[in-house]
Amino acid sequence: MRVDVNLDLIREDFGRVVYTHKTHEKARELCTRHATASKWMNIVLNALTFGGVLTSVTSENRDLLFVALFFATLTAGFTLYQLSFNPTQEAAEHRDAAKCLLKIRDSYIHLLADVEGNALSAKEVRNQRDGLSAQSQKVFLTAPDTSSKAYSLARRALKESEDFTFSDEEIDKFLPMNLRRTTQNRVS
């Protein structure tokens, strides 16, 4: 097996890890925002319910009791809805996946540097590549699913527009200057 073929595979895997890492970071941000909004919504609904009950108890106006009942029903419904989701836990799972992928991403950079510097034999390159690929697959299988919105945000953050295909120029944007392939991006 030629080292060039290994290098192409390594670069492709590296690009996937970069995208997946960024997608999990964006998914974590979305889940954190959802958790924060849910907490504030719960606080507001509980405050309105409490205020409505307190006002209806101290007032002779029966209409306030119905307003309090309306807010109590909304609060109960929202609480039941929240039991179906745990965005805080999901955010933590995305954060853990992103951290694992960050370590793998850095290992790919080191492997690419070793390949470019001819520091490894073809067999060593293959073994390290296969090991990193296995680590990546393990994270991919155990990580929570991401949304298309998270992927879109990740793609925008990385300034890319293609799904899982990477030109040399695209991958070069993620790599240090001395590991870049394209001439306009390479330091002489």
pLDDT recorded at residue 155: 87
Proportion of the chain above pLDDT 90, given as a percent = 55
Worst-scoring range by mean pLDDT, 116-130, 131-145, 169-183? 169-183
Residue 17 identity (one-letter amino acid): V
pLDDT in tens, 102-118: 999 999 999 999 988 88
pLDDT recorded at residue 184: 59
Q: Pick 6 or 141 by higher pLDDT.
A: 141
What global pTM score does this model have? 0.73
> In the numeric block, which tokens belong to residue 188?
């002489």
User: What 3-state class would DSSP assign to 172?
Assistant: helix
Query: Radius of gyration of the chain from Cα atoms?
Result: 25
Cβ atoms of residues 128 and 159 within 8 Å? no
| Conformational region of residue 173, where left means phi above 0, alpha means psi within -120 to 50, and beta covers everything else | alpha
Cβ atoms of residues 104 and 17 within 8 Å? yes
**Residue 183: pLDDT band by 50, 70, 90 thresholds?**
low
pLDDT in tens, 40-74: 999 999 999 999 888 888 888 888 888 889 999 99
∠ CA(64), CA(65), CA(69), 5° rounding?
115
